[in-house]
């Protein structure tokens, strides 16, 4: 007897103002009782009439972003449909429309399109990087937190023993849920319990027990990666991440925010080269986008040890892995007991 899941994704994405990239994929994954899987790709049934909607959303978002950010705005508008057939059970199906706006690795908006047009963005303008940044308190935005923790987990998962992997104040869960509908576990959506797994409990890394490649999850939530590169398993030994911080504080009035950072080296040694997209907050001028990325080399564990507290609620976050691609999750912004000057000097 087999469990069979059909998932169809149709979307249109504007990438930095370029013409649309449309996706129409439909796949069926069947799992036998002994765990073997069969995957079949089929002709999609859902019409892709999303380019116009994506374009109008893109234009609405552009009008409330500083020019330098607007150039890198991506908008994806689409629908995910899921059908689950179980032996001796009624067929379960679900359909969800969504819209996502991202820019330089930050999530600006992720919602149902029924909830209206883009919300106003936070930036009032742009600023060039200056030396004064070095002394400002440092805050990691949700996407930067997601990338930092993902890299740290990659290092930790690759060790056999738990080792000295500490993330003080943080708890990290591996979950089937996601703010991005195409990456939601269909079994969790169906209401069948797919339990969250705790990877880090109050700062302590728990061993990589039973953290193996969940191929069904991978196929259904990241079909492009799964069908192309499925054997690169070390990148896919977990599902989506939800990060929490036990301590909280108000955000500093003046601070340098690392909104997101892209990995520019291997992470295996724990010392990673990043290219960081930053903003500064200023009591008088609000939030300003720093108009060029900063190159940083830092020790993941040093940064994690410097986490002071969360300075806001958990928010949708995006990790852009060089191999694993885009992964969405939830993370709070974190204040660090470090300045960028100390980070650069270390």
Partner 1 sequence: MKDTCYFERARFMLVSVDSMESMGGAVNTCEFIGGRICEEHEASAVFTGEPSGDWHIDLPRPEGLPDPKEALCVTRNFVAGPGVRWSLQYLERISARLVIGTSLSPQPILRRVWALTGQIYTGKGRVVFIGESGRGSGLCHLRDERARESMSKKVSVIDGAGSTESGMVPAVLASPAAGVLVHEVIGHFAEADDELDLSHRVGSRIASEVFEVWDDPLAEGGAAHYAVDDEGVAALGPTRVARQGQLLSLLHSLRSAARCGAVSTANGRSACCWDPPIPRVSNLICAPGQASDEELIDKMGKGLYIHSLANGFSFGNRVEAGIRLAEMVDKGKRTGRFLTGGLVDEDRFVLTRAPEISDASVFHQNSMCGKAGQVLYDVGTRAPAILVSRLNIRA
Q: Is 35 in the site for partner 1 (CB under 8 A)?
A: yes
Q: Is 67 in the site for partner 1 (CB under 8 A)?
A: no
Q: Is 231 in the site for partner 1 (CB under 8 A)?
A: yes
Q: Is 308 in the site for partner 1 (CB under 8 A)?
A: no
Q: Tell me the closest approach of the beta carbon of residue 28 to partner 1, in angstroms.
A: 10
- Do residues 52 and 94 make contact, with C-beta atoms less than 8 angstroms apart? no
Binding mask 129-158 for partner 1 (x = CB under 8 A): -----------------------------x
- Contacts with partner 1 by CB under 8 A: the residue count is 49
Q: Give, rounded to a whole angstrom, the gap between the first and last alpha carbons of the chain.
A: 58
Instruction: List all residues 6 or more positions away from 234 whose beta carbon is below 8 Å from its beta carbon.
Output: 154, 157, 158
Nearest CA to 230 out of 324, 338, 341 is that of 324
Q: Tell me the closest approach of the beta carbon of residue 321 to partner 1, in angstroms.
A: 8
Using the rule CB under 8 A, give the single segment among 34-42, 112-120, 129-137, 251-259 that binds partner 1: 34-42
| DSSP string computed for 81-109 | EEEEE-TTS--EEEEEEEEEEEETTEEEE
Instruction: List all residues 6 or more positions away from 19 whose beta carbon is below 8 Å from its beta carbon.
Output: none
Nearest CA to 222 out of 238, 206, 204 is that of 238
Nearer to partner 1, 117 or 207 (CB): 207
Q: Is 120 helix (H, G, I), strand (E, B) or coil?
A: coil
The tokens for 189 are 């959506």
Nearer to partner 1, 22 or 244 (CB): 22
Rule CB under 8 A: choose which of 2, 3, 4, 24 binds partner 1.
24
Q: Is 89 in the site for partner 1 (CB under 8 A)?
A: no
Rule CB under 8 A: choose which of 64, 126, 230, 344 binds partner 1.
230
Nearer to partner 1, 115 or 210 (CB): 210
Handedness of CA 103, 109, 114, 117 (dihedral sign): negative
Interface residue list for partner 1 (CB under 8 A): 18-27, 35-44, 48, 158-161, 212-213, 215, 224, 227-234, 264-266, 268-269, 271, 273, 321-325
């Amino acid at each position: 007897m087999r469990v069979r899941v059909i998932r169809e994704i149709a979307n249109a994405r504007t990438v930095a103002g370029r013409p649309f990239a449309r996706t129409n994929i439909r796949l069926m994954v069947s799992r036998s009782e002994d765990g073997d899987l069969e995957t079949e790709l089929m002709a999609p049934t859902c019409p892709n009439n999303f380019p116009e909607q994506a374009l109008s959303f893109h234009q609405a978002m552009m009008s409330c972003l500083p020019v330098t950010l607007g150039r890198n705005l991506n908008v994806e508008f689409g629908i995910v449909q899921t059908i689950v057939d179980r032996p001796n059970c009624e067929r379960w199906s679900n359909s969800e429309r969504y819209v996502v706006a991202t820019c330089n690795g930050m999530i600006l908006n992720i919602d149902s399109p029924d909830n209206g047009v883009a919300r106003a963005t936070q930036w009032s303008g742009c600023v060039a990087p200056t030396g004064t940044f070095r002394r400002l308190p440092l805050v990691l935005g949700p996407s930067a937190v997601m990338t930092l923790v993902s890299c740290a987990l990659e290092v930790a998962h690759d060790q056999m023993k738990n080792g000295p992997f500490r993330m003080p104040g943080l708890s990290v869960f591996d979950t089937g849920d996601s703010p991005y509908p195409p990456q939601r576990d269909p079994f969790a959506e169906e209401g069948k319990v797919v339990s969250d797994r705790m990877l880090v409990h109050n700062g302590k890394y728990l061993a990589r027990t039973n953290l193996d490649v969940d191929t069904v999850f991978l196929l259904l939530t990241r079909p492009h990666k799964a069908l192309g590169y499925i054997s690169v398993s070390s990148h896919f030994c977990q599902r989506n991440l939800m990060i929490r911080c036990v301590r909280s504080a108000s955000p500093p009035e003046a601070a340098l925010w690392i909104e997101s950072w892209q990995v520019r080296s291997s992470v295996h040694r724990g010392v990673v080269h990043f290219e960081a997209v930053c903003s500064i907050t200023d009591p008088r001028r609000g939030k300003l986008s720093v108009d060029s990325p900063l190159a940083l080399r830092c020790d993941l564990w040093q940064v994690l040890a410097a986490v002071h507290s969360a300075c806001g609620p958990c928010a949708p976050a995006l990790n852009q892995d060089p191999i694993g691609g885009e992964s969405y999750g939830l993370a709070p912004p974190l204040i660090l007991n470090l300045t960028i000057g100390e980070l650069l000097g270390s």
